[in-house]
Amino acid sequence: MIHKSLYFLCILCLLALSIQGQSCFENFITARGDQLYDGKEIFRFISFNIPNLLTVEDNVPFAEKNAWRFPDEYEIQDALNSILAMGGSVARTYVITVKREDDGPEIPRFVLGPNKFNEKAFQTMDMVLAIANRLGIRLLIPLVDNWKWMGGKPQYAQFRNQKEEDFWHHPQIKEDYKATLKYILTRKNTITGVAYKDDKAILAWELGNELRDATPEWITEMAKFIKSHDQNHIINDGIQYENIQDYLTGNPYIDILSSHHYEPTPDRMIENIKSNIEKARGKKPYYIGEFGFISTQAMRFLLDSVIQEPSVAGALIWSLRFHNRDGGFYWHTEPCGNRLYKAYHFPGFPSGNSYDETNVISLFIEKAAQIQNRKPVKIQKPQPPHLLPIHDVGRISWQGSTGAQHYLIERSFSPEGGWETISNRVCDAAISYGPLFHDETAETGKSYYYRVKAWNYVGYSDPSNIAGPVLVDFITFADELENYGRMYSWEGNLSFKTDFCRSFKEDFHRIEGEKGSEIVYRVPKPVYGFSLLSFAQEDKALFSISLSRDGKDYQEVVPKRENYFPEGKDYDYWLPIAYKMDQIQGNSLYLKIRFLCKSQIGRVEIQYGK
């Protein structure tokens, strides 16, 4: 019988243990028959994949050309606290990344070449494991990718000027991969002092991610090699087809099996899972390592079929992204599922309504409890957010609180008191990679202090830190192009776009205009500056921008144009191009944008009242 109080014991651990070398865990997870065990207790789970937990691939603000970076402590804690707050006990990371031939110098990877490793990368992994131990979250860690996105099998072959398929056979390439395995297994965590091979937070090593064409000989050789250095952790084959390969059920070096599921219909998905259950029954534990891009109702049927079958260890939904240290969340539009789905954010937000995000999170909380025979966790009041430095009252952001649904913004002339609420329902998932709030009620020439409180239905957090004083030089008017509401007038062939967001720096509110279309803005005081963030398929002139005092006679201006073409070419990116101008003289109240060709705009800012 599953230990019903596991979650609550881990909470107690948080109060008693420091991050240094401490762990909630007493046991390694073991496999016996077709079940997993935590000591004498059966171990089962419903949880999420967290692809950015070791390496962020989604740092895509408009002016950033490199989408890759390592998560920091705040982000890692938010990710794993989100799992804990939903009652989860497991998370699956993505792979140990490998340097690609087309990587720019700023793109970080774990493996830089044969037997060459990035210490900063592994210090990030040290932090992930330290926090996982402290919070009581077990990790499934795939060791190499079958695909090129984060570097993997193709790159190991390229290091030796060999073909991709030689990864399975070439003696030197296999030795290179073993060198990586040995480095990982024997590494001593710089935070906890515990070698990875002795770390109880690691649930299992996956030989890789979706190693579809791995040979039985390679699987056995690598699993045997891991066991020669690490007798503590169970090993997953890493093949992860929709259907378990028959030969794996009898391989003595593979302890646990898994499959990934993105079939075109839920019925086919469930049928394949049931077939896998029968193949593994009585032989090895089995879990669903990835599934998704189905309706909430279909997800419920799938999870119920998992929970009702005791020989299934668990299932992991694809996927969860966490808060961004620069404010808001990381975003990731999935290329599958008709481009409808984005990565989920806890606790669910209106921006995810098209894929029923809030109800999916609620379903997760329900089923994570049900598979462990306990009551669902109660959502806790959020911790205070952290307000980031403010240099412009038109660009206010904060590091969000795990589980917060929205935020209250307060302003004062003194840090000692007199706080005034200026907005009370600001959501940090309403936009992607932009300022979370702009204060249009401030007065130029005055200085203000700001603080923020997080809210969910349990209540408000304590206030954040205080930022200020901030001298107001001008007011910023901002339009995120969600609708026509912020425009003064418009004409021509214009349409709002919310799809294919990955191609537009994950901007999910944009307007597309055909040649000759126009947008006009009006502000209450003379325009001092403006910026326009746009996207185009070609590098050419996109707009004619003009100013007017009365809305009749316009004078064209020539703003500075800045290109932010991305380094990577893995997605069908449109070209990010910014138009900016400041220190504008005169009394212009109107700004007109005329499209010279088909293009899109993601954000317009106008500074006025200088």
% the chain with pLDDT above 90: 93
Q: Is residue 570 pLDDT above 90, yes or no?
A: no
Over residues 354-374, mean pLDDT: 98
Domain boundary among 346, 370, 394: 370
Q: Does the structure show a pLDDT above 90 at 8?
A: no
Mean pLDDT of 193-198: 98
Judge whether 377 lies within some domain: no
For residue 582, what are the domain limits? Answer: 479-608
pLDDT per residue as tens digits for the range 62-101? 999 999 999 999 999 999 999 999 999 999 999 999 999 9
pLDDT digits (tens, 9 = 90+) for 25-37: 999 999 999 999 9
Whether residues 338 and 401 fall in one domain: no
Question: Are residues 428 and 499 located together in one domain of the fold?
Answer: no
- Domain assignment of residue 161, yes or no: yes
Q: Would residue 182 count as lying in a domain?
A: yes
pLDDT band for position 12 (cuts 50, 70, 90):
very low
Q: Judge whether 329 and 322 are in contact, CB under 8 Å.
A: yes
Do residues 166 and 142 both lie within one domain?
Answer: yes
Tell me the pLDDT band of 22, cut-offs 50, 70 and 90. Answer: confident
What pLDDT, in 10s, does the model give residues 234-272?
999 999 999 999 999 999 999 999 999 999 999 999 999
CATH number at residue 513: 2.60.120.260
Is pLDDT of 9 > 60? no
Asked if residue 362 is part of any domain, the answer here is yes
Inside any domain, residue 375: no
Determine the Cα–Cα distance for residues 377 and 88; give it in Å rounded to an integer: 9
Same domain, 413 and 518: no
Residue 414 DSSP symbol: B
Residues 458 and 483 in one domain: no
Q: Which of 310, 336, 370 is the last residue of a domain?
A: 370
Question: How many whole angstroms separate alpha carbon 512 and alpha carbon 534?
Answer: 10
Residue from 425, 401, 406, 430 nearest 85 by CA: 401
pLDDT at position 176, please?
98
| pLDDT reported for residue 338 | 75
**Residue 380 belongs to a domain:** no
- Do both 73 and 160 map to the same domain? yes
- Is 1 part of any domain? no
- Please check whether residues 124 and 106 belong to one and the same domain: yes
Q: 497-500 contacts: CB < 8 A, separation 24 or more?
A: 497/600, 499/339, 500/333, 500/339, 500/572
Report cis status (omega within 30 of 0) of the bond before 61.
no
Half-sphere exposure of 15 (CA within 13 A, CB side): 4
Give the N- to C-terminal CA distance of the chain in Å, as an integer.
69
Which pLDDT score is estimated for 52? 98
Q: Does 593 share its domain with 494? A: yes
**pLDDT at residue 19, rounded to an integer:** 45
Domain-embedded: residue 250: yes
364 and 442 in contact (C-beta within 8 Å)?
A: no
Is the distance from CB of 387 to CB of 398 less than 8 angstroms? yes
Residue 1 binned pLDDT confidence (cut-offs 50, 70, 90) = very low
pLDDT per residue over 118-132, tens digit each? 999 999 999 999 999
Domain count, the chain: 3
Nearest Cα to 477, choosing from 532, 536, 407?
Answer: 532
Question: Are 211 and 304 in the same domain?
Answer: yes
583 and 513 in a common domain: yes
Q: Is the pLDDT of residue 595 over 60?
A: yes
How many percent of the chain have pLDDT more than 70?
96
The chain-wide mean pLDDT, for the chain, equals: 95
Q: Looking at the structure, tell me whether residues 442 and 516 fall in a common domain.
A: no
pLDDT at position 107: 95
The average pLDDT across 195-210 equals 98
Dist CA 594 CA 489 (whole Å): 12
410 and 517 in a single domain? The answer is: no
Distance of alpha carbon 288 from alpha carbon 544, whole angstroms? 53
**Where a domain ends, among 442, 472, 502?**
472
Judged against a pLDDT cut of 70, whether residue 191 lies above it is answered with yes
Residues 389-412: what's their mean pLDDT? 98
Evaluate if residue 217 carries a pLDDT over 50: yes
The pLDDT of residue 17: 45
Closest CA to 565 of 594, 542, 538, 544: 538
The alpha carbon of 237 is separated from its chain's Cα centroid by a whole number of angstroms, namely 26
CATH code (residue 111): 3.20.20.80
Taking only the tens place, the pLDDT of each residue in 460-490 is: 999 999 999 999 999 999 999 999 999 999 9
pLDDT of residue 461: 98
- Rounded CA separation 244/559 (Å): 59
pLDDT score of 336: 83
